[in-house]
Homo-oligomer: A and B are copies of this chain.
């Protein structure tokens, strides 16, 4: 058991992990944040949070664990999210990244060496928001999803980390079919386009999107249409993962 609220043992004071969990809900892209101080996520949420009241789920690594293990453990401890594929994307190590006064004040309540320089190794993931129910524990008072289009000022360099994670996930979305797991097994082209638009944060030209995406032979048109919709029923599609993966192993292809 961790001793919540006290100085915790067995942590490496020099290295931490931070998790940027993006939650997709068909309306917008969200990011999971924790609250270190009471009063914003629940309570007087109409007021602006104090700088650093909100942060990414993150903590120091244990001396005896791997970085990836630390990422999964910390996410679980702070938000109760489990079994999420975390992709390491960048290490952040500016000498002043934990030197802000508000951050230091908070660290003194929880860290054995609050003045140590800390390098953080950052992970991201992209999940369906409705499949996960964040529940705060450890030093997190609350955990909640925030739209990436409206993120308040976060602790440390966490705004920068979110921005870089967003760049990374957008780059990945254009190079790999990572979006399909967020859709139902059978989906329309409109749903697929909406997914891309939501994650990229911009509208895509309909016809252009359709033309380009239909060139992909791992996108399988079905002889089925939507049911129960008020508008004209659209054709359904499936993602053929095996076909996509066979391309990857058979040959390199130029994608730039």
Partner-B contacts on A (CB < 8 A)? 12, 14-15, 61, 63-67, 88, 90-95, 117, 119, 121, 170, 174-177, 200, 202, 204, 212-213, 216, 244, 252-256
- A88 surroundings in chain B (CB, below 8 A): 90-91
User: Which residues of chain B are within 8 angstroms of A61 by Cβ–Cβ distance?
Assistant: 93
Task: With A91-B121, A244-B256 given, name 11 new contacts (CB 8 A).
Answer: A67-B92, A67-B93, A67-B119, A91-B91, A93-B121, A170-B252, A174-B256, A175-B175, A212-B253, A216-B254, A255-B255
For the complex, give the distance between the alpha carbons of A202 and B252 in Å: 10
Contacts of A92 in B (CB 8 A): 67
**A208: nearest residue on chain B (CB-CB)?**
B251
Which B residues touch A117, using CB under 8 A? 12, 63
| Chain B residue, CB-CB nearest to A12 | B117
Shortest distance between the CB of A153 and any CB in chain B (Å)? 22
A172 CB to nearest chain B CB (Å): 9
Complex Cα distance A138/B65, Å?
A: 32
Minimum Cβ distance to chain B for residue A29 (Å): 15
